[in-house]
Amino acid sequence: MDVKTLAARKGEHNMKDYKEAYEKFDWESVKSQFSWSETGKVNIAHEAIDRHADNPDKKDQVALIYSAPDREEKHTFEDLKFSSNKFANVLKKYDVKKGDRVFLFMPRSPEFYAAFFGILKVGAIAGPLFEAFMEQAVRDRLEDSEATMLITTPELLERVPLEQLPHLKQVVLVGDHDKTSDTFIDYHKEMDEASKDFDIEWVDLEDGMLLHYTSGSTGKPKGVYHVHNAMLQHYQTAKWVLDLQEDDVYWCTADPGWVTGTSYGIFAPWLNGITNVIRGGRFTPDDWYSTLSNHNVSVWYSAPTAFRKLMGAGAETAQKHDLSSVRHILSVGEPLNPEVISWGMKAFDLRIHDTWWMTETGGMMICNYPAMDMRPGSMGKPFPGIEAAIVDNDGNELPANQMGNLALKKGWPSMMRAVWNNPGKYESYFLGDWYVSGDSAYQDEDGYFWFQGRLDDVINTSGERVGPFEVESKLIEHEAVAEAGVIGKPDPERGEIIKAFITLRDGYEESDELLEEIRQFVKTGLSAHAAPREIEIKDSIPKTRSGKIMRRLLKSWELGLPTGDTSTLEE
């Protein structure tokens, strides 16, 4: 279908009537879309790739349009089937088995996707890591997951402390290198030798496929564990919320190191057999607009932080590009500000549709559908088959317009099934039958949900979730820092920025150089997005009598708000 026809189709949607869908829908009905409902044999890689490659009408369709400043490639479903089969054979050769954790630490590239599906095809669990992570962040995740294999590039290998990772047996290197030891496997050499035929490992719907590490308010990042069954939700939300239709060209801007980049950057489009654009390289407004126009992107899923950056580049930048192919835009990750919605109306003549969900939910939960009346500022309504409510601290449902904890009735298909190696943490998410999100919200009389903020200390900076504990732990590793407390401080462009309060060790004096050195220490040790933009030196950090940092108090001081109950404050 050409661009004009696509644009003319604005207004024709997969879901006709939300109310009717909500009343009639149940998850069981989605199973019939997949052959495993008859054979009992399942693997999400088969459903996303091989199923289309084995269909004569679909095998030559472009599945992946890869676009980076120095590289443009198109791969059909058949190409992806063969490249992932080859990688699966490489894994088999090196004895990777069902349930093993295999991590990926590399930029988006066609090799990434071949490796990712190769991992799933042998029944192993994929652990994608954001390419900007530095040594500590990489080590914590590989250590906790006890990953036995890592796929990375020679450049990024420098941030992998191999000697501290006894479980990590092998490293696959994508790119030129001079490593000779048996630990290292050369990606291109092995792929050249591998067969393109592979007998996929059939698994159970409840078998694991993915580990995404994410931050809470205490402790190190947790490994959120997802299973093959999640495909039901990826598939159906893509139909009704992304509204993906046969000729669409879809672009999700998220990196697969974050859950949006896997659930909606990989599974949702390919389970539906849709052409998927992947853009590598750094962000510039011109590149992004060119990606939309050069590839005739029709459905676009991104985040407020990116929209704000495009907005900042001005209308002239947008006007240089033909954006008429775009028919549907969606957003996730942070509150969608009214200014961003008006910018979307001006630049695209489209209302940006907000969606709410989390790493732990695995898929969209509360959304704005093309088929419903939207209320600007609302996250929308629960997806059919999802029960959401606002609950108090004991799990009692609250009436309309009352603020509380946004909760979801457990049992949806893409729900996390465990926190890796941490059953206690997993249990702590639930109050009876409710999964409690940690976001505060209210629901209006008509069932729309309105986001209010986080109830815990988790920071959302440019749409990325950062746990204060991780940053505090890094800060106190610096020789000058005695204690540290970290908060999110509201910021018009980034949502929140990270602000650190520290006390200095004896013998250290405050200076701009020292503060910059400490900032760099976090940036190069942990990751750029976790580095505090502001650091303030204090005489002491407020703590409870049991020694917990009172971040709530730091935040109140910072914002000039009343400090509330301080009875647990240590002398």
Q: Are 242 and 232 a contacting pair, CB within 8 Å?
A: no
Residue 203 or 364: which CB sits closer to ligand 6R9?
A: 364
> Looking at 53-61, 266-274, 330-338, 535-543, which segment touches ligand 6R9 (CB under 6 A)?
330-338
Give the integer Cα–Cα distance in Å for 121 and 123.
5
> 483: which residues sit within 8 A by CB, 6+ positions away?
476, 502, 503, 540, 541, 549
What is the rounded distance in angstroms from the CA atom of residue 513 to the CA atom of residue 184?
40
357 binds ligand 6R9 per the rule CB under 6 A: yes
Rounded to a whole number of angstroms, the minimum distance from the CB of residue 332 to ligand 6R9 is 5
Cα distance between residue 177 and residue 183, in whole Å: 13
With CA atoms as reference, report the closest residue to 79 among 57, 53, 54: 53
Q: Please report whether residue 454 would count as binding ligand 6R9 according to CB under 6 A.
A: yes
Say whether residue 308 binds ligand 6R9 (CB under 6 A): no
Give yes or no for residue 405 binding ligand 6R9 (CB under 6 A): no
User: In 10 A of CB 342, how many CB atoms?
Assistant: 14
Q: Which token pair is 205?
A: 């719907």
| Minimum distance from residue 435 beta carbon to ligand 6R9 (Å) | 12
User: Do residues 327 and 10 touch, judged by C-beta distance below 8 A?
Assistant: yes
Strands (E), 169-258: 170-173, 184-186, 208-214, 222-227, 249-252
Can you state the percent helix, strand and coil of the chain, rounding each to 5? 35, 25, 40
Binding status of residue 334 toward ligand 6R9 by CB under 6 A: yes
Closer to ligand 6R9 at the Cβ: 90 or 358? 358
Give 63 or 259: the residue with its C-beta nearer to ligand 6R9.
Answer: 259
302 binds ligand 6R9 (CB under 6 A): no
The residue range among 269-277, 349-357, 511-519, 553-561 that interacts with ligand 6R9, by the rule CB under 6 A, is: 349-357
Distance in Å, CB of 110 to ligand 6R9, minimum: 25
Q: Which of 354, 470, 472, 496 binds ligand 6R9 (CB under 6 A)?
A: 354
DSSP label at residue 380: B
Cβ 356 to ligand 6R9 shortest distance, Å: 4
C-alpha dist (Å) from residue 448 to 24, 150, 167: 20, 43, 47
Q: How far is the CB of 260 from ligand 6R9 (least distance, A)?
A: 5
Pick the closest to residue 219 from 125, 124, 140 (CA basis): 140
Does 419 participate in binding ligand 6R9 (rule CB under 6 A)?
no
Q: Which is nearer to ligand 6R9, 137 or 185 (CB)?
A: 137
Q: Which is nearer to ligand 6R9, 288 or 357 (CB)?
A: 357
* Minimum separation from the CB atom of position 302 to ligand 6R9 (A): 12
For the chain, the distance separating the N- and C-terminal CA atoms, rounded to the nearest angstrom, is 70
- Contact stretch for ligand 6R9 (CB under 6 A) within 5-13, 55-63, 256-264, 289-297: 256-264
| Stretch in the footprint of ligand 6R9 (CB under 6 A) among 25-33, 236-244, 252-260, 541-549 | 252-260
CB of 480 to ligand 6R9, least distance (A): 32
Residue 469 identity (one-letter amino acid): F
Pair 355, 379: CB distance under 8 Å: yes
260 scored as a contact of ligand 6R9 (CB under 6 A): yes
Compose the 420-449 pattern: x for residues touching ligand 6R9 by CB under 6 A, - for all others: -----------------x-x----------
259 touches ligand 6R9 by CB under 6 A = yes
CB of 224 to ligand 6R9, least distance (A): 8
Do residues 155 and 177 touch, judged by C-beta distance below 8 A?
no
What angle separates helix 338-348 from helix 304-312, to the nearest 10 degrees?
Answer: 60
- Among 86, 100, 281, 92, which Cα is nearest to 189's? 86
Which of 169, 114, 180, 116 is CA-nearest to residue 142?
169
> Nearest-CA neighbor of 46 among 222, 347, 271?
271
Choice from 214, 236, 272, 305 touching ligand 6R9 (CB under 6 A)? 214
Select the residue interacting with ligand 6R9 from 125, 332, 391, 408 (CB under 6 A): 332
Alpha-carbon gap, residue 433 to 285, rounded angstroms: 44
Length of the chain in residues, anyone?
571
- Residue 103 or 258: the one with the smaller Cβ distance to ligand 6R9 is 258
384 binds ligand 6R9 (CB under 6 A): no
Residue with Cβ nearer ligand 6R9 (273 or 404)? 404
Nearer to ligand 6R9 by C-beta: 243 or 334? 334
Q: Count H helices, E strands: the chain?
A: 21, 27
What span, in angstroms and rounded, lies between the C-alpha atoms of 498 and 240? 36
- Please identify, using beta-carbon distances, which residue of 333 and 532 lies nearer to ligand 6R9: 333
User: Closer CB to ligand 6R9, residue 281 or residue 453?
Assistant: 453
Q: Where do contacts with ligand 6R9 occur on this chain (CB under 6 A)? A: 214, 258-260, 332-335, 354-359, 379, 437, 439, 451, 454, 460, 465
